[in-house]
Amino acid sequence: MGMTSSILALALAGVLQEEPKLVLNVPGATLGSLAGKIGEQMGWDVQVDPSVRSEVLVIRTDGMDPQKTLAKIAEVTGTKWILDGNRMLVQPDFDARNRERAKKRAENTQRILKAKGEFLKNLANPKATSMEGEEFSYEAGTGSKLLGQVVQGLGDQVFSRLAPGQRIVLSTNPTRMQQPLGSVNVQMVTKWIAETNEQRKAVGQIDPGDDEGVQQMMEMFGMNMEDMAPKPITEQPEKVVLVLARSGRSEYTESGVSVTLKVIGPGGKTLLSEQSAFGGGGEMFGNFTIAVPTMTTSDNSDEEPARKPMPGDDLKIKPSEEYLSIRKATTISFENPNAPKVTPEIRQKLKDIENFEPLRFELGELLWQAAEKMDKPLIALLPDETWQFSEKIPETIGEVRDQFEIYNVVEKEEGGFWQVLPKEIGSAWDGRVDRTTLAMVMRAADGRTYVPLDPLATFLYQYPDATSNDVANSRIQAFAPFLMGSMMGMGSANELYRVYGAMTASERQFVRRGGQISLGQLSGSARNVLVEMFFGAEGRIMPVELEQALKQENPTDMANSMFGRGMMFGEMMSGGGDEPTELMPTGLPMNGFVASQAFQDKYVVSVDQQGQPVSGMPPFGRSEIAFISLLTRNPQFLSETPEAQEFLARIAAGDRTQIHLAVMIAPKKGAQGVLSDMGDPDLKNIFKFSNMPGELGANAKADADAIAASPMGKFFQMMGSGGGMGGFGGGGTIKP
């Protein structure tokens, strides 16, 4: 483990006579914070390597043997403790960490290769399972068969070597960014195109007849049947490529390998594609190629097996008032969303990550109290898991144990300790967010409501998985909720925050002023983010109308473009869209550019009964205000959503800077998004959403009227006319 007993015995030889016991009572703290407590008692200057200082422990060792205690801490944190004079150096135990990672990689490889084998076996006799659990056979399409042939020709090493976040492209005529694929059955490609054209021709001949709904929708959007029907493939295929991509940044993500076969035409255009996934849980993609047969479960699948009763289950615990107040502040409430939860004092504690460890106010203090009630020495390592959707606080040790599954931990008794550890300890080590870095971002919000753009973007650049780490995400929701709102769209806002975060100070100033920077002049760190963005496992290219991308927000234009963007996004997710290695055959084009334009505009935010912004609620800009205005015109929506009325009863307004950013890598191709730099809301002037003052109210009415009269508005009126949840939230026509 991290520290052998012999090494530890030598390290403690001069200490044990004077200080034979180690007293640690910690309901949740980082290894870096614990270093001082250990050093004081042992007479050491404990120095913790930055890469392991954020491991979070809960410890109750009242007078335990230091050798046993420190050996166990070293084991669960994956560290080595080395005594150098009176300095104790705490370093990562790379052997232990690499061993866990290698074990996980072997499991992932086995899972992926097994799924590949199932895919090929299934193609020989295609079967699937319906939602009702009934198995049925089907005829595999030509595209599926061709994909199977190409996959069968690849060795297992191609799949087993693919690292998380990596994307490789194999091609029959490779560019510099591609690898050789070898020969592909040309006759099958020809047959696939012919069959696809027949299918598209049949779709084009479908007559909507007397279907008034279809006719109305086509008329609203200015379309005819020819516009809606897929076009036949007339271009000659020039090559076939196979794209292998594995999402995530860690072996512990447990993602599968997406496998996409593309027929490429002139100009790198994707003519046809077929997609599957190996080892990702039995997904179906593209033309319903099945990677792993769907599993069925019994009728009792929703019933969780009862936990076996354990000693101490009935013992009562009572968390501290501080625990209760912070837990309440970080819990999302659906019953009373506007209840005051975040006082200025609590807000300060939420920001002070280093002194108020977030996991202490999740499972940490509960575990410590449980150990105290059972009078057991405790060492627990907590993964960065939080639970924000339950207001119920455990009252017994049994109820604490009931939450172990939620927090992905297990318990055991070993070596004289009650231990609560992550199910996958390597995953906890690997996925930890650095508390010092997160604390720096939070301190940037001192004296402000929201974190400013620059420190937030820097953090997202340094820690790309911030929004998927529960601890980091809980603080982002509290102090940068606008970021969560920006990621609800189909643009590339999150990636572009990272691009901005990787820029130099002078590049950021240029972006704020507005203009263009060529990719050749862009700093290397920012270019590296763009390379990952376009060529990584999640790489994709979006259509970008530069002039439109740099225009100030227009709610009506946004509403009318939603269908097109949704259809385009669906095509991309099924393997279609532009292939980056074709559009950029030699890599990121140095004559591409980043363009920007900044605007000042207003936003509104819901405030609680004490006049503070509602925790976790994103601010609303002009488009959101317009849609909400439209929704609130519908009496049924208002009657069915009292929570929404509560949110809209108290509103404050503020100013923000919106930086429209576009990355152009080819004409009308690239990425676009909007970065927000929020000013503080004016909390001295509270008003109702239905009675917004001045320009805010005038814009809300005009924008809502315009959307109601737009094709999108008419479409939802038609959807709502039959009752249900159409009509922007309720049955019936929207009345301008």
pLDDT tens track for 149-196: 999 999 999 999 999 999 999 999 999 999 999 899 999 999 999 999
Residue 418: inside a domain, yes or no? no
In which band, very low, low, confident or very high, does the pLDDT at 576 lie, cut at 50, 70 and 90?
A: low
Name the more confident of 393 and 339: 393
pLDDT of residue 214: 59
Residue 414: inside a domain, yes or no? no
| Domain shared by 93 and 112, yes or no | no
Across 224-228, 635-639, 692-696, least confident range: 224-228
Residue 328: inside a domain, yes or no? no
Euclidean distance between CA atoms 72 and 510, whole angstroms: 52
Residue 402 backbone phi and psi in degrees, to 5:
-60, -20
Question: Are the beta carbons of 87 and 47 closer than 8 angstroms?
Answer: yes
Name the more confident of 440 and 130: 440
User: Which two tokens mark 458?
Assistant: 């820097």
Number of domains observed in the structure of the chain: 3
| Domain shared by 90 and 193, yes or no | no
| Domain shared by 50 and 140, yes or no | no
| Domain shared by 482 and 584, yes or no | yes
Euclidean distance between CA atoms 716 and 733, whole angstroms: 8
pLDDT of residue 608: 86
Residues 51-78: tens digit of each pLDDT: 999 999 999 998 888 999 999 999 999 9
| Domain shared by 92 and 106, yes or no | no
pLDDT of residue 18: 55
For helices 694-709 and 622-631, give the axis angle rounded to 10 degrees. 70
Residue 317: inside a domain, yes or no? no
> Which of 108-122, 474-488, 490-504 has the largest mean confidence?
108-122
| Domain shared by 721 and 683, yes or no | yes
Last residue of a domain, one of 231, 262, 290: 290
Across 475-479, 511-515, 696-700, 729-733, least confident range: 729-733
| Domain shared by 270 and 255, yes or no | yes
Residue 489: inside a domain, yes or no? yes
In which band, very low, low, confident or very high, does the pLDDT at 209 lie, cut at 50, 70 and 90?
A: low
- pLDDT above 70 covers a percentage of the chain that reads 82
Report how far apart, in Å, the C-alpha atoms of 32 and of each of 349, 416, 470 are: 19, 25, 20
pLDDT over 70 at 302, yes or no: no
| Domain shared by 490 and 544, yes or no | yes
| Domain shared by 66 and 125, yes or no | no
pLDDT over 70 at 395, yes or no: yes
| Domain shared by 147 and 71, yes or no | no
Residue 408: inside a domain, yes or no? no
Name the more confident of 212 and 119: 119
Which DSSP state fits 607? B
Beta bridge partners of 444: none
Mean pLDDT in residue range 35-40: 92
DSSP string, 464-514: TTGGGSHHHHHHHHHH-HHHHHHTTSSS-HHHHHHHHHHS-HHHHHHHHH-
Average pLDDT, the chain: 85
| Domain shared by 72 and 105, yes or no | no
Last residue of a domain, one of 97, 120, 148: 97
Residues 10-29: tens digit of each pLDDT: 455 444 455 558 899 999 99
| Domain shared by 92 and 59, yes or no | yes
Residue 356: inside a domain, yes or no? no
CATH code of 83's domain: 3.55.50.30
| E strand or H helix at 437 | helix 435-443
Residue 314: inside a domain, yes or no? no
Q: Tell me the residue range of the domain where 87 lies.
A: 5-97
Strand duo 409-414 + 417-422: pairing: antiparallel
In which band, very low, low, confident or very high, does the pLDDT at 566 lie, cut at 50, 70 and 90?
A: very low
